[in-house]
A and B are shown apart, each in its own frame.
Chain A
Amino acid sequence: MSLRRIGGFKMCEPWKTLGIEPTEEKRAVKRAYSKLLRLCHPEDDPVAFQHLNEMYRIALVYAEHGIQTINDDEILFMQDVKVGEESAYESWAEDDAPEEGDSPEPAIEESSDFIEDESRMAEREVVDALMQRAEKLLYSRKVLKTSLWKNIFSHEALSNLWTKQLLAEEFFLLVATRKKRIILPSYLWILFEKTFHYRDMELRLYQYYDPRMVDKVIGYIHNAHAVVVTLETEEKEKITWTIKWYYYLYVFLVTYGILVMLTYC
C-alpha cells in the first residue's frame, strides 16, 4: 500500500476515526473498521468510506510497527519520510556498498520478516548460492553466454514464487550497482526482463530505490527492446532487397534469352 499520497494528518487521527485506543493488535483494528464500514458503505457514501479506508490502512501500519502516539497533535507528513529515505541513498551511493549502507525501509521490513520465518532459511541459501553464481558470471569473461545465464535462471527452486521474488530483488541490486566494464548486450537485458519482469514493478522500484539506479536498469531494458524491434524491421528490408535483385536478374536473363532466340531464328 502506498502512504506517499496521503499527505499530512494528525498522528492520532487514525485511532480517532476508528474510535479505538491505540493498539498493537491488528485484529482489534480490523474489528473496529469492519463495524464502521457498515455505517459508511462504499456504495452509499464514497467520501466517508475513502477516509475511513485510508485511516484504517495507516492504523494497520501503526499496529504492525508498534508506533504509539506520543504527542496527539503531532502532524505526520509522509513526504518527510520519503525525503529521509532519499538522503539515505545518497550516503549509500558514495560508499558504493548497498548491503551495508542504509537500505530502504521496505527492504528491511522484508528481510526481518524473513529472518523470523525459519522455514525460509533453506530458500535463502538457494538464493545466496544463485546470487554468487550470478555475480561471478557477471564479472567473468563468459558474461555474454546466454546459456550460462539461462542455467542459473532455470534452477528448480525458482518455480517457487517467493524464492524467485527474493532473487529478483537481489539481482536487481546486482545489475544496478554493477561496475562498468563492458556494456551488456540487448539480448541479455531482454533475458533478464523475461525472467524477472522489472517493467511490471517499475513504479514500485522508483518508490523504493535510488531513481538513478532504476533509471539505469529500466533504461537498458527499454532500449534493448527498442533495438530488437528496429533490427527485425531492418532484417526484413534486407530480405526484400535481395528478392528484388534476384527478380531483376531473372527478367534480364529472360529478355536476353528471347533476344538470342529471335536473332538465331
Chain B
Amino acid sequence: MALIGIDLGTTYSLVSCWRDGEPLVIPNELGDMLTPSAVSLDHDGSLLVGAAALDRLITHPDASTSQFKRLMGQKNPVKLRCRESGGKRVHKRTFRPEELSSILLKSLKADAESFLGEPVEDVIISVPAYFNDAQRKMTNFAGKLAGLNVKRLINEPTAAAIAYGLPNLERELTFLVLDLGGGTFDISVLELFDSTMEVHATSGDAFLGGIDFTKCIYRDILEASGLRGDKLSNAEKNVISKRAEGIKLALSERSQIETSLHIGKKVFDYTLTQERFEELAAPLLKKIRRPIERAVHDSRLSPGEIDSIVLVGGATRMPMFRKLITRMFGKFPTFDHDPDMIVAKGAAIQHALSQRHSSIEELVLTDICPYTMGVATSELLDASTYVDGRFTPIIERNSTVPVSREEVFWTIQDNQPVISIEVYQGESRFVANNLKLGSLEVPVPKKRAGEQSITVRFTYNVNGILEVETKVIGTGDVKRLILEESPGNLSKEEIEKSLKDLAHLKIHPKNSARNRAVMAKLERLFEESLGEEREAIGFIMHQFERILATQDLKQIEEQRVEIEAFIDEFEKNWGI
C-alpha cells in the first residue's frame, strides 16, 4: 500500500508518496509536479482539471474556476456554464467549494495511481494551520467525496517542519516555519530535540497569500491604464490577472519590469519597479506582521533562541517578504529547500511515520490547536446580578493535542429546566466577538439555583476536530455534540446528493488530457496575442484540430511535441 500525502493548495496542489526511504513528489500526466488548483467545464459537459483549466480561465471564464480553497467552509456554490461546441445547448453546473476540491483530489488520485501502478485510498491531506473547525471538516469531506480515506489532516507548517527536521534529527533546534502560500499565511514555532518535534505556537491568516499581492498589481494596472474594473469582461479581468501574476514572479528576479499589455483593443505600456510594488503591498506586509507577532509572543521566545527560519510557499520568494522577515528577526531565513514541494513531502513523511514504516527513523511529533475553544457563560457581577455573553475557555490556544478537558457549570436560576451549551472559538472574553461552532441543550432536573451542575468535556483530536460531551451530575445523562455528521451544516440528503452527482461526472480520460491541455494553452495564447502572431497561432490550432480528428495516435504525438516546443519558444520571446 502506497503512503500518499497531498498538499491541497489555493493556487497549486501536489501529491507525493513515501518510497525507498524518502519522500517523492509525483508528477501529473503533463509531467509537472505542480498541478494548478483549477477546474473547468468542457464543451461536452465533462471536466478539465489542472493546467488546461487554468488556461481556460482566460478563454472560457464562465466555465472555469480556481482559488476555491478560499471558499471552503462556506455554503455559496460556484456556477459553471459552457456552450456546446457548434450546438446551442448550454451545459450548466453548480458546485460547492468542497465538491470542486474533491474533483481536484480525484485527479491527483488518478495521477498517483497511474504513476505507482496500484490503487490509492489512504491519504494524508495538509490544511493551513489556521483553518477553523468548519474548514477542516469540509476538507475531510472533500476527501470522502473523491473516494479517498483521509487518514489524517496535517497542518501545513507542521508538514514542512517534518520535512525540514527529518535530515536534522540529531540536532537540537528551535525554528520558525513561515508559510506564505497562494491564499493563506501560517506561522509555527517549533522545537526539535531527541527525535521529538514539538509545535509551541501557531498563528496565521486564512485570507492572506500570494494572490493578494497579484491583486495589488492588478489594481495598479487598472489605475495606470485608466480602465474601469466594473466595465471589463471576465475574460479581460483574467487576462490582466495573469499578466499581473507574471509581473509579480518576474519582480522576484529583476528590480524593474517594463512590458506592454493589450486588453481588448487597447495597447499600452506598463512599468513597475520593486519600490513601487513594495509601496502597493505595504498594507499586506502589515497584515503579515500581525500573526508573526502573536506566535512569537505566545511562545515566549527571545531573539537569541531562534536557530533558523524556514520559508515555505511560493510567495516567500518575493524579495520584500524576505526583507521584512530579516528586519523583524534581525536574522536571515534559510534557503536550502524547495518552498513549493516541502509541504507535500512532509505530508508523505507523516504518513510513513503514522504507519510506523520500517524505513523511517522514529520521529514523534506533537502538534497544538491554534484557537481557544470554550462555551458561553453568565458571569456573576455581585450577589444576584449576572451578565451573559461571557466566553469561558475550556481548551486554550496552543494546547498540545490530543487534549481533553472538562469544566463544571451550574444553573443560575431556581427550577431551571435546561442548561444550554453554546460552543465558541476565538480569543475574546465576549462571545459576540468569537465564532460560534454549535450549540446543545441539556435538560437537567429542576433544583434551586446553583445546586444542579453539568460537566462539559472538550476533546480535540490530532486532526484538529473538536468533540463536545456533556454529563448531568446526579442523573449521569450523557449528550454529545457531534459536528462530524453534518459538516458545515449540510443535511444528510445533501451529502448523499453530492456523492451521487459527483459519481456521474466525467473527468477527461488520461490519454487525451495532455492534448486538451495543449489546445487550451493555444486558445489562451490566441486570445492574448495580436496581428501576425495571432494568425500563426490560429493556423497551428486549425492544423492540430485536423490531426486530432484523424485519431492517428503516432501523428498526434509527433505534432504535439512540435507544438509544445513552439509554445515554449513563443512564451519566452513574448516577455513575461
The residues of A with any CB-CB pair to B shorter than 8 Å are 1-2, 5, 30-31, 33-35, 37-38, 41-43, 46-47, 49-50, 53, 110, 113, 117, 119-120, 159-162, 164-165, 197, 199-204, 206, 218, 222
Contact = CB atoms under 8 A, between A and B. Distances in A.
B396 A34 contact: no
A161 B292 contact: yes
Contact of B400 (A31, A53, A204): A53
B204 to A, nearest CB: 12
A156 to B, nearest CB: 10
Chain A interface secondary structure, helix, strand, loop or mixed? Answer: helix
Interface stretch (B232-240, B295-303, B505-513, B554-562): B295-303
B494 to A, nearest CB: 32
Nearest to B401: A42
Contacts of A117: 302, 304
Contacts of A38: 362, 364
Contacts of B473: none
Contacts of A30: 193-194, 196
B481 to A, nearest CB: 19
A201 B193 contact: no
A46 B367 CA distance: 13
Interface in B163-200: 193-196
Interface in B523-557: none
Interface stretch (B41-49, B117-125, B272-280, B426-434): B426-434
B269 interface: no
B195 A34 contact: yes
Given A160-B329, A160-B330, 17 more contacts: A1-B398, A5-B405, A30-B194, A34-B364, A41-B364, A42-B364, A46-B461, A50-B402, A50-B404, A159-B328, A160-B327, A161-B296, A162-B303, A165-B296, A197-B294, A203-B396, A222-B430
A230 to B, nearest CB: 15
Tell which of B195, B304, B330, B461 has the most Cβ of chain A within 10 Å: B330
B360 interface: no
Interface of B: 193-196, 290, 292-294, 296-298, 300, 302-304, 327-330, 354, 362, 364, 366, 372, 393, 396, 398-405, 427-430, 433, 461-462
Nearest to A57: B400
Nearest to B404: A50
Contact of B433 (A162, A165, A222): A222
Contacts of A35: 194
A159 to B, nearest CB: 5
Contacts of A33: 196
Nearest to A165: B297
B427 A200 contact: yes
B364 A199 contact: no
B296 A34 contact: no
Contacts of A41: 364
Contacts of B330: 160
B194 A34 contact: yes
Contacts of B292: 161
Contact of A202 (B290, B328, B428): B428
A230 B196 CA distance: 51
A202 B327 contact: no
Contacts of A53: 366, 400
Contact of A165 (B293, B327, B398, B429): B293
Contacts of B372: 203
A46 B404 contact: yes
A258 B133 CA distance: 64
